[in-house]
Amino acid sequence: MSFLQKKRWQRRHLMEAFMKFIMRASLLIVAGSLGLILWIVVVRGLPALSWDMVSKIPEGGYYMGKGGGILNAIIGSAYLASGGTLLAVIFSVPIALYLKTYLGDSKWGQYVRLSLDVLWGIPSIVYGAFGFALMITLGMRASLLAGIIILAFIELPIMTRAMDEVIRRMPVDLEHAALALGSTKFEVALRVVTRQMLPGITTAILLGFGRGIGDAASVLFTAGYTDRIPTSLMRPTASLPLAVFFQLGSPYPEVQQRGYAAALILTIIVLAVSLGSRWLSARLNRYTVK
């Protein structure tokens, strides 16, 4: 090996080591920022977290530091996200089934998938503005129902694509076997694909719920905010993300503290949902044919 060759060998192997180092470092930065976010939220939120926070609605003067909690926002968010998810499931399951059994990779199927991905990319503030535009046209006021409908729009593409990704991995043999026995496509969809889809549906529901419960910009326009727990679909409702947002905007340190605590509650719910979906889908996956 000549001197020059040796030099070159050294240089490219040094480069290799260096690149590997900065790649590891960037992955660590990304992973570390998750740790940092959770740490900050826990450290600042935990001291203000109390039983009253999660079990009481705001009392008079709550926003000036007096007693009470954010039960209204927790319940409101639960209503909003469950309602939105339920509505989105009703529409996303048939779409995913149709994509799999009837459309496959056809042209129309590609368009539908593309439009779902495009919908996924539309930010929630635009959905919120859209909801608001609809509401002023129809003369509606901010209400639980309006919030649920807009959240369903936001969750629909996420859930449909999640189901689609899962059932795409279903072995074609299964479908072919059923068709060979004389089933119609509808029977395949109903009796074969739905069963294979079960883990996908579960993941999708939890994914949609997690997205719905954390979304602030859309419910700001459509669901409003109130200190009471909603008793009907036509009433406005509070939500956790907005509870965090409004309390942080307060000049009183006690109220800000509670905002951090509310953020901690929201984070715990979202992380539980996310980890839960991972665990559930791993369990349910045992019962599908691969």
Partner 1 sequence: MSSLISNLNNQTEGRNPRPSAALRTRKDNAARRAFFIFTLLPVALIVFVTGALFVRSWPIISEYGLTDLLFGEVWKPNNGQFGFWPFILGTFWVTTVGVILSVPACLLASIYLAEYAHARTRSFAKPILDLLAAIPPVVYGVWGLLAIVPFVDDVLAPLSERWLGSVSIFSVNQPTGFNVLSAGIVLAVMIAPLVISVMYEILSTVPNDLRHASLAVGATQWQTIRNIVLPQVGPGILAAVVLGASRALGETIAVLMVVGNIPQIPTSIFDSAYPLPALIANNYGEMMSIPLYDAALLSAALVLLVVILIFNILSLIVLRRMLRKK
By CB under 8 A, what part of segment 44-103 binds partner 1?
44, 91, 94-95, 97-99, 102-103
Asked if 125 is part of the footprint of partner 1 (rule: CB under 8 A), the reply reads yes
Of 177-236, binders to partner 1 (CB under 8 A) are 184-187, 189, 210-211, 213-217, 220-221
16 binds partner 1 (CB under 8 A): yes
Query: Which 3 state secondary structure label does DSSP give 140?
Result: coil
Of residues 142 through 171, those in contact with partner 1 by CB under 8 A are 153, 156-157, 160
Which helix (H) or strand (E) is 40 found in, with range? helix 3-45
Which of these segments, 27-35, 49-57, 67-75, 170-178, binds partner 1 (CB under 8 A)?
Answer: 27-35
Cβ atoms within 10 Å of 281's Cβ, excluding its own = 20
Choices 64-72, 79-87, 121-129, 281-289 (CB under 8 A): range interacting with partner 1: 121-129
**CA angle centred on 235, ends 122 and 206, rounded to 5°:** 45
In the block, tokens 């979304």 appear at 215
State which of residues 61, 64, 110, 283 lies at the interface with partner 1 (CB under 8 A). Answer: 110
Looking at the Cβ atoms of 217 and 284, the one nearer to partner 1 is 217
121/118 Cα distance (integer angstroms): 5
Q: At which residue do the structure tokens 């409003």 appear?
A: 224
Minimum distance from residue 276 beta carbon to partner 1 (Å): 11
Compute the chain's Rg from CA coordinates.
24
Residue 182 or 232 having the CB closest to partner 1:
182
CA-based nearest residue to 230, from 135, 144, 142: 144
Question: Is position 30 an interface residue for partner 1 (rule: CB under 8 A)?
Answer: yes
Q: How far apart are CA 164 and CA 204, in angstroms?
A: 10
| Segment near partner 1 (CB under 8 A); pick from 17-25, 62-70, 173-181, 281-289 | 17-25
Q: According to the binding rule CB under 8 A, does residue 274 interact with partner 1?
A: yes
Per the rule left: phi > 0, alpha: psi between -120 and 50, beta: everything else, 96 is alpha
Member of 48, 174, 198, 270 binding partner 1 (CB under 8 A): 270
